Amino acid sequence: MEAKVYSTAAKEIRTINLNDEVFGREVSDGAIYNAVNNELANRRVGTACTKTRAEVNYSNTKPYKQKGTGNARRGDKKSPIMVGGGTIFGPKPRDYSYTIPKKVKRLAYKSLLSLGVQENRLVVVEDFTSENGKTKDLAQIMKAFETEDQRTIIVMKDDDAMLRRAAKNIPYVRVLAYDKLSAKELLYGRKILVLETAAAKLGEFYGER
């Protein structure tokens, strides 16, 4: 498929051929759902912890005598139904992460890129970087594409430390390498700026093998 290439001033300068397998395929909602859920689960810390009646540091004495009070029998004050007692079936530290098939993850990325093209959220931009890592330079480019205060994803060819540094102080901008995409970011990004060389790399990397 053919797509327009824009300058950093948001002016059309030429066209580029994109891989239909990556940018023009049928969208798989199931693959996207699984990939996003997997990323969210893998980010969970899983440190929530509650104490059972065996772990509570409380008195072992009997709260009241066994008979004659009219109350139910109680062995100690650590009972889960008493204030300050243990917790029944409470959360314990655990690992929420899991893996999904690589083919499903690749299909999700291709579906998200194709969805971006279909919804006119994906724009191919000529290669640019930040020579000195200043946020001001990148902010001017974002302003040209009218992305202020909208979640914007920049997909680059290689890991550009200066570009990441420039984007660090812009809260709505996320920078991704073409081979380290994020399904969550691509799904919720209101604008996806793909650098020209990164677009070609995406076609090669996620195309049919």
What value does the mean pLDDT take over residues 5-19? 89
Give percent of the chain above pLDDT 90.
Answer: 54
The answer to whether residue 31 scores a pLDDT higher than 70 is yes
CATH fold of 2-43+99-206: Ribosomal Protein L4; Chain: A; (3.40.1370)
Q: List pLDDT tens digits, range 13-25.
A: 889 898 899 999 9
Average pLDDT, the chain: 90
The answer to whether residue 133 scores a pLDDT higher than 60 is yes
The answer to whether residue 208 scores a pLDDT higher than 80 is no
Ranges for all domains in the chain classified under CATH 3.40.1370.10: 2-43+99-206
Residue 47 banded pLDDT, cuts 50, 70, 90: very high
Residue 161 banded pLDDT, cuts 50, 70, 90: confident
Residues paired with 193 in a beta bridge: 123, 154
Q: Pairing relation of β-strands 2-6 and 12-17?
A: antiparallel
- pTM score, whole prediction: 0.84
Q: In the prediction, which pLDDT does 10 show?
A: 86
* CA separation for the pair 80, 202 (Å, rounded): 56
Q: List pLDDT tens digits, range 67-122.
A: 999 998 888 889 898 888 899 999 999 999 999 999 999 999 999 999 999 999 99
- 3-class DSSP state of 49: coil
Residue 209 banded pLDDT, cuts 50, 70, 90: low
Side-chain-facing half-sphere of 170: CA atoms under 13 Å? 28
Contact assessment for residue 28 and residue 108, using Cβ atoms and an 8 Å cutoff = yes
Q: List pLDDT tens digits, range 174-195.
A: 999 998 999 999 999 999 999 9
What value does the mean pLDDT take over residues 42-55? 94
